[in-house]
Structure 1
Amino acid sequence: MNKFFLPALLAASLLAAAPASAQKKAKAAPASTVAAAGYQLQPQLSTLGWEGKKVTGAHNGTMQFQSGNIAVRGNQVVGGKFVVDMNSLKVDDLKDAESNGKLVGHLRSDDFFSIDKNATSTFTITSITPLRGDAKGNNSTVTGDLTIKGITQRISFPAKTGVKNGVASATGVATVDRTKFDIKYGSKSFFESIGDKAIMDEFMLSFNVIAKK
C-alpha cells in the first residue's frame, strides 16, 4: 500500500505547488507593457526641411521644432509628439531679398499656412511598425496625426529610428498632400485651367529629430 501511496502523495504536492509558481511568473510584466521612457526633443540639434514643386520649378527651405518628446521602450522608438514653430519658416533657394520676402509672405498668408492664425503645427505618432528591405536604410513605418491650420489628417511614411547611448533619433522624408489641409492655392485638382502656374499638391518634409533623456 505504501508503495503506491507515497508516489501519489508526492505528485499531489507538486501539482499543488504549480499554481503558486505560475503566479510568481505572472508578476513579471511582458516587455510590451513596460512603461515607455520620455526623451526630450533637442530643437538645436534637430532639423526640418521642406520642398514644394511647381510646373516651372521648385522652392525649398526650413522650419524649426519648438518642442517635443520621443517615447522609448528598451532600444526602440515607440511614440512621440512634435511641435513646429511656423513663424520660423524660411525660404533657402531664393537669394534675392525681395523675391525671398515675397514668397515667405505668400506662404504665411491664408493662401497657404495662415501663420498669423496658426502659429504652430503638430505631429503625434500613433504607431511605429518594423520596415525591412528598404533601399534607403529606413527601418520603420511611422504613422501619426499631422495638424496644419487646425486640420488633422493621418499620414504614414518610412523613417530610420533608433536609440543609442541615451539618444533617440528619427530621420526620414514625409510626403504631405497640402489640399487635405485646405491649402488649395494653385492646385490643378481644383483649378484645371491654371496651366503652367500649377503648384503640385504634395510637398515634402525632410526631418532629423534628436531627443535625449
Structure 2
Amino acid sequence: MKTLLAVALAFSATAYAQNKPMTQTYNVDSAATKIVYVGKKVTGQHTGNVTAKSGNLTFLGEQITGGEVVVDMNSLTSTDITDKDTNAKYLGHMKSADFFDTAKYPEAKLVIKNSKKTDKGLEVTGDLTMIGKTNPITFLVTDLKKTDAGVTGKSNVTINRTKWGLVYGSGSFIKGLGDKAINDEFTLAIDLSAKK
C-alpha cells in the first residue's frame, strides 16, 4: 500500500512539474532590434535611431520576470536632417553635456523588474538609468510573439527627460524660450528581437 502511495505521489509531482511554466532566457539581437526616437519642439521635431548594444529577457511562461537592455548612446543618429554639416552639429549637441553627455555616460540601461498581462498587452515595469540617474518606468509591450527559439515584440515608450535632469530647452524650467522650447517628453518606438 505504501509503495502504491509513493508511486501515486511521484506521478502527481511529475505531472505538476510538466504543467508548470518553465523559465526561459533570451539574448537581445542587436542587429535585428530597432529603436527609433522622436523629439519634438515648437517648430517641428527630430527623428533618428539608437542601437541596443546588449541585453537579455527572462520569461516565466508568457510574462517577463526580469532582464536588462543596454543602449549605446554614442550610436545616436539623425534621420531627418539631410545636410551633412547640420546633421553633424545636431548630433554633436545631442552628445554634449547639454543633453546626453555621452563622453561621460556612453550607455543607458533598462533593468526590467516584472510585468503583468493587460487587455492591451504586457505592462512592463523597470528602472531606466541614463545620464547617471535612475528612475522607474512603465511601458506596454504589444505584438509579443515567443517561441523556444526567440522573441519579438513592439513598444512605444514615452520618457520625460527632465526626471533625469535633462532640462536644456525645457519651458518647464527655463522661461522666455518662445519658439526655441523643446518638449519635455520624447518617445522611443522599439521593435525588439531576442533569441536563445
Give the TM-score normalised by structure 1: 0.82
Whole-angstrom CA distance in 2 between matches of 1:163 and 1:204: 25
Q: Which amino acid aligns with 1:87?
A: N
Offset of residue 144 of structure 1: 0.9
Contact 1:176 1:204 survives alignment (8 Å) = yes
Give the match's secondary structure for 1:168.
strand
Please tell me whether residue 202 in structure 1 is matched to residue 185 in structure 2: yes
**Out of 89, 100, 103, which is 2:76 matched to?**
89
Q: Is the 8 A contact 1:77 1:163 kept in 2?
A: no
Structure 1 residue 195: deviation in Å? Answer: 1.4
The aligned residue for residue 119 of structure 1 is 106
Q: Which residue of 2 aligns with 1:7?
A: none
Corresponding letter in the other structure for 2:46? H
Given that 1:76 and 1:163 are in contact with CA atoms closer than 8 Å, whether structure 2 keeps it comes out as no
Percent sequence identity over matched residues? 35
Distance 1:77 1:128 in 2: 6
Question: Whose Rg is larger?
Answer: 1
Write out per-residue CA displacement over residues 100-157 of structure 1, whole angstroms, 9 at most, x where no aligned residue: 111100100111000000010001111111121x3xxxx2111111111111111111
**1:187 and 2:183 aligned:** no
Aligned to 1:91, what secondary structure does the other structure show? coil
Query: Structure 1 counterpart of 2:34, which letter?
Result: T
Q: Who is 1:164 aligned against? A: 147
Structure 2 letter corresponding to 1:153: N
Which 10-residue stretch deviates more, 104-113 or 122-131?
122-131
The number of residue pairs the alignment matches comes to 192
Residue identity in the other structure for 1:118: Y
Corresponding residue of 1:4:
none
1:78 to partner: Cα distance = 3.4
Q: Give the C-alpha shift of residue 76 in structure 1.
A: 4.3
Cα offset, 1:159, TM superposition? 1.4
Instruction: For residue 177 of structure 2, give the secondary structure of its aligned residue in structure 1.
Output: helix
Alpha-carbon displacement from aligned partner over 1:35-58 (angstroms, at most 9, x marks no partner): x22111110111111110001100
Question: Any conservation in 1 of the 2:63–2:122 contact (CA below 8 Å)?
Answer: no
**Unaligned runs of at least 5 residues, structure 1:** 1-12
Distance across 2 between alignment mates of 1:162 and 1:80: 17
